[in-house]
């Protein structure tokens, strides 16, 4: 049953009053019995027709009650589960004590983008997986809601004025940052704080990387990304958009001709993979990247005014089971498709998408077609999609990834009637920088090879994020940015 924000907030007020009376004497058993605070969400029937954020955020009372669920265990396994090592128990303790300024200061020592990470990190496979509370209650979904608490304090800071970072005296050194996703944002901020000049080059007309063009508004409001970008501008970072390094200017020239002392490459993994099946070039087949970029960045949902509107779909299939597939399916629902099928060749258990996104997709009416896959796409005489040839699978023995391998069931072919197909089966790295910088070493997937400081095979050239890891996560990209920034700062100190 969907509970309104008002109901959840009122429950928390009562719970907090009681807990405050017993604050000094709360035992571990008491803390384990505090009810997990549900995230207030927009009603599924309303949100499926608007682009507004689904999760509405905790009230201060909810946040404090949730923070009191943390037993402050000595081993702190949650910290080991966080790719950037945030002191999670300390920031949560500060929330319980209602010291929100201290809480955000603790988070910011390790993470630069808490409002983003609190919303999109896969906490259930990171910090919350190791939470002692979840383990004691034998259910990872009952772990302390670390991500929601991180989001809460980050939003509190945004509403109460973000502290401006101190910038050291100008050094006269210049660093080029290519791309403007989370890896690059982190490098730009860390390097600029040291007093170095930073110029960021972005191929699109708006900076922010996947945070801007990929992850939809209903999961990550663009105003939050925009605020991070404005923070960089306030620090004195210069951002040049519509600038494709490799085409507008070669990477090598940035150093040899433009006087940059170091370069960071954070160009991400934006090259969509396709199924390579018959009919994939028909009208009505999109990569998830194209579909989401058109909707998020080019405002394709505004059909009357958009330069690149998307077709109106009656019945649509999304191929894939990750966050990108969920985002595409949920976006299609909001654009008015009557039927949205999510076609995945394994089962829900193997789906890599965040648990919350899967639950939200289902609530919004996405139909999950598990153990099925597309064999081909069929069209009419005008080259428009009319259906998708599918086949059913069953699970066999585990493959190299440890997941049970889907095995085709002979004779199970059928045609799914759809007018649109969105392929969301993964992304590779963009080959442009490699093609135009031949000496830059990459692996067989085209990812840039770096050492353990983030340095590439070229002098003064560093890289990080998806272009190094392959399609990964925001927090890992941020962590990679931190590492490369530290190495760049060290290189510039040695050469000064």
Ligand X SMILES: Cc1cc2nc3c(=O)[nH]c(=O)nc-3n(C[C@H](O)[C@H](O)[C@H](O)COP(=O)(O)OP(=O)(O)OC[C@H]3O[C@@H](n4cnc5c(N)ncnc54)[C@H](O)[C@@H]3O)c2cc1C
Question: Nearest Cα to 145, choosing from 135, 158, 131, 155?
Answer: 131
Minimum distance from CB of 27 to ligand X (Å)?
36
Q: Which residues contact ligand X (rule: CB under 6 A)?
A: 120-121, 178-184, 201-204, 209-210, 214-215, 243-246, 266-268, 270, 292, 323-324, 327, 354, 430, 432-433, 465-467, 472-475, 477
CA angle 434, 440, 441 (to 5 degrees): 100
Cα–Cα distance between 301 and 278 in angstroms, integer?
A: 29
Nearer to ligand X, 96 or 337 (CB): 337
Minimum distance from CB of 225 to ligand X (Å)?
10
Nearer to ligand X, 8 or 210 (CB): 210
Nearer to ligand X, 26 or 355 (CB): 355
Minimum distance from CB of 14 to ligand X (Å)?
33
Q: If you ran DSSP here, which 8-state letter would residue 82 be given?
A: S
CA distances from 359 to 54, 65, 336 (A): 12, 24, 20
Nearer to ligand X, 149 or 476 (CB): 476
Count of beta carbons in the 10 Å neighbourhood of residue 449: 13
Nearer to ligand X, 93 or 180 (CB): 180
Say how far residue 331 (Cα) sits from the centre of its chain: 16
Any residues with CB less than 8 A from the CB of 347 and at least 6 apart, and which?
370, 371, 395
Minimum distance from CB of 215 to ligand X (Å)?
5
Nearer to ligand X, 118 or 181 (CB): 181
Minimum distance from CB of 332 to ligand X (Å)?
13
Minimum distance from CB of 423 to ligand X (Å)?
13
Nearer to ligand X, 467 or 487 (CB): 467
Identify whether the C-beta of residue 34 lies closer than 8 Å to the C-beta of residue 14: no
List own/partner pairs for 295-301 with CB under 8 A and 24 or more apart: 295/216, 295/331, 295/335, 296/212, 296/213, 296/214, 296/215, 296/216, 296/217, 296/222, 297/204, 297/205, 297/206, 297/212, 297/213, 301/51, 301/334, 301/335
Minimum distance from CB of 19 to ligand X (Å)?
32
Question: Nearest Cα to 481, choosing from 266, 270, 267?
Answer: 266
């Amino acid at each position: 049953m969907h509970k309104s924000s008002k109901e959840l907030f009122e429950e928390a007020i009562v719970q907090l009053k009681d807990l405050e009376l017993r604050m000094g004497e709360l035992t571990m058993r008491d803390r384990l019995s505090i009810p997990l605070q549900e995230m207030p969400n927009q009603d599924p029937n309303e949100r499926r027709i608007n682009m507004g954020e689904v999760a509405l955020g905790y009230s201060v009372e909810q946040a404090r009650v949730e923070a009191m669920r943390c037993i402050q265990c000595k081993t702190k396994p949650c910290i080991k589960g966080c790719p950037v090592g945030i002191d999670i128990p300390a920031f949560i303790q500060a929330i319980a004590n209602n010291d929100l300024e201290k809480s955000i200061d603790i988070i910011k020592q390790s993470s630069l983008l808490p409002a983003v990470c609190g919303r999109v990190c896969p906490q259930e496979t990171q910090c919350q997986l190791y939470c002692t509370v979840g383990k004691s209650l034998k259910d990872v979904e009952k772990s302390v809601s670390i991500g929601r608490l991180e989001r809460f304090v980050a939003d509190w800071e945004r509403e109460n004025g973000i502290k401006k970072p101190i910038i050291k005296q100008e050094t006269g050194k210049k660093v080029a940052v290519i791309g403007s996703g989370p890896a690059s944002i982190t490098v730009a901020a860390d390097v600029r704080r040291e007093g170095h000049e930073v110029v960021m080059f972005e191929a699109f007309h708006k900076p922010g990387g996947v945070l801007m063009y990929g992850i939809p508004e209903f999961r990550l409001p663009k105003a939050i990304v925009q605020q991070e970008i404005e923070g960089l501008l306030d620090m004195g970072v210069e951002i040049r958009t519509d600038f494709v390094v490799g085409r507008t200017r070669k990477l090598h020239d940035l150093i040899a001709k433009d006087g940059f002392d170091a370069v960071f490459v954070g160009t991400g993994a934006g090259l969509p993979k396709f199924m390579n099946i018959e009919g994939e070039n028909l009208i009505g087949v999109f990569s998830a990247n194209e579909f989401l970029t058109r909707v998020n960045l080019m405002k394709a949902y505004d059909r009357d005014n958009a330069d690149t509107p998307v077709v109106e779909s009656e019945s649509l299939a999304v191929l894939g089971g990750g966050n990108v597939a969920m985002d595409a399916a949920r976006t299609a629902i909001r654009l008015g498709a009557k039927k949205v099928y999510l076609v995945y060749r394994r089962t829900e258990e193997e789906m890599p998408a965040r648990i919350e996104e899967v639950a939200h997709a289902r609530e919004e009416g996405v139909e999950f077609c598990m153990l099925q896959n597309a064999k081909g796409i069929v069209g009419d005489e005008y080259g428009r999609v009319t259906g998708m040839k599918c086949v059913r699978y069953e699970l066999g023995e585990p493959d190299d990834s440890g997941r049970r391998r889907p095995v085709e069931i002979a004779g199970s072919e059928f045609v799914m009637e759809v007018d649109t197909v969105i392929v969301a089966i993964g992304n590779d790295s963009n080959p442009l920088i490699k093609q135009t910088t031949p000496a830059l070493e990459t692996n067989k997937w085209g990812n840039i090879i770096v050492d353990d400081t983030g340095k590439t095979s070229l002098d003064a050239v560093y890289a990080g994020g998806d272009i190094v890891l392959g399609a990964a996560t925001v927090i890992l990209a941020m962590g990679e940015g931190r590492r490369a920034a530290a190495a760049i700062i060290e290189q510039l100190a040695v050469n000064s």
